[in-house]
Each structure stands twice: as C-alpha cells, then as structure tokens.
C-alpha cells in the first residue's frame, strides 16, 4: 500500500506536476509550539532535481512556514489525488528560505509564474520520498484557481504589501522571527 523512493522518479514528477493543490507542513522545535499546515496552489511548486524541490511563497496572513524553516529547517510537502486513481505523496526534507535580491532567489525566480506578493522561495533537499494509498481521500472536481490572493496583492500595491508584511509577517504565532521589517 505504500512505497519509499530513492528519488523523485519521472512518473512521480508527472503526477506531482499534475496536482493543482499541495500542502506544506512545518513545526517549531518547542514541544508546545504550533504545528503549521498550509494549502498552496497557483502553480507555485517546482521539482528541481531528484532530491530537490522549491515553491514560491506568497504574502499571506502569517509567516509560520518561513519562521519554522529558519528555526530548524524541517518541512514536508503532501500531494493528494482528488481525481484519478487514489494516491498521496509526501516529500520530507530540510528547507531554506531564499529572499528576493539574493543570488539563489534570482536564479530560481524565472522558473515560477510572475505573481504579485511574492515574498520568498523555499528550497528543500529531500531526505524521504514516499507514497501511500489515499483510499480515503475524496474525489473532487477541480474547477479553477482562485484569483483572490492575486487581486488582493495587486490592490495593496508594493507599498501596502511592505506595510502588511511589517504588521503580519515579522513574527510567527510562537514568537519566532519571520521576515525582517522594512
């Protein structure tokens, strides 16, 4: 029912790239810290190699993933088949936060869509690649991406996004450092 892979195979690549939704989960080191799981979409995930992936992180209501990754690096990505044969794929690894105007960010940026509100790229080196049955995952019909986040970021304009990041993205729910103000 489940399998562990030595690397992301061509078949896994094709399947992962076909999924319109994925989840990112992280946790702080503290036992009483809040575990975070965030849904992601908008064509923001890329497979960089057999053991390396990245996703384009957009401005949101919090900064948990960035704060947790900066603290301990641990991350897991999960993809579920909501259509077609049942399947779940998990990619465990260690991530790093690449900020705009850094060489690594600039090198990866062209691989992603140009979306307003981009705040970072998270790149992960994978230590475990596995699938599981997904038998209990419901079948759903994908209609389209929501454009709400894109419209919100466009309406904020760069100055408004910068102020929002100062207000909402400098510290995690657990008090860990997020993005620097300014």
The pLDDT confidence band at residue 182, using thresholds 50, 70 and 90, is: low
CA 5/CA 8 separation, integer angstroms: 7
Pairing of strands 88-98, 45-49: unpaired
107, part of any domain: yes
Q: Which range marks the domain in which residue 28 is found?
A: 3-168
Structure tokens of 141? 């019909």
Percent residues over pLDDT 90 in the chain: 97
17, part of any domain: yes
43, part of any domain: yes
pLDDT tens digits, one per residue of 5-37: 999 999 999 999 999 999 999 999 999 999 999
pLDDT tens digits, one per residue of 89-102: 999 999 999 999 99
Write the CA distances from 83 to 65, 95, 115, 144, integer angstroms: 27, 29, 27, 14
- Predicted TM-score (pTM) of the model is 0.96
51, part of any domain: yes
pLDDT of 181 reads 75
101, part of any domain: yes
CATH number of the domain encompassing residue 60? 2.30.110.10
10, part of any domain: yes
How many domains are there within the chain?
Answer: 1
């Amino acid at each position: 029912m489940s399998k562990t892979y030595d690397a992301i195979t061509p078949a896994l690549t094709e399947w992962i790239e076909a999924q319109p939704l994925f989840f990112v989960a992280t946790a702080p080191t503290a036992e009483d810290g809040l575990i975070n799981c965030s849904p992601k979409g908008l064509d923001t995930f890329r497979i960089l190699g057999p053991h390396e992936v990245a996703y384009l992180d957009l401005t949101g209501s919090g900064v948990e993933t960035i704060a947790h990754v900066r603290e301990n690096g641990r991350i897991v990505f999960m993809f579920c088949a909501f259509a077609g044969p049942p399947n779940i794929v998990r990619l465990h690894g260690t991530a790093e936060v690449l900020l705009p105007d850094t060489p690594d960010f600039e090198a990866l940026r062209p691989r992603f869509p140009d979306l307003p509100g981009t705040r970072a790229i998270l790149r992960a080196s994978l230590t475990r690649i596995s699938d599981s049955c997904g038998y209990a995952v419901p079948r759903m019909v994908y209609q389209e991406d929501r454009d709400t986040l894109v419209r919100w970021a466009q309406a904020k304009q760069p100055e408004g996004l910068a102020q929002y990041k100062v207000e909402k993205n400098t510290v995690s729910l657990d008090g860990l450092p997020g993005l620097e103000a300014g």
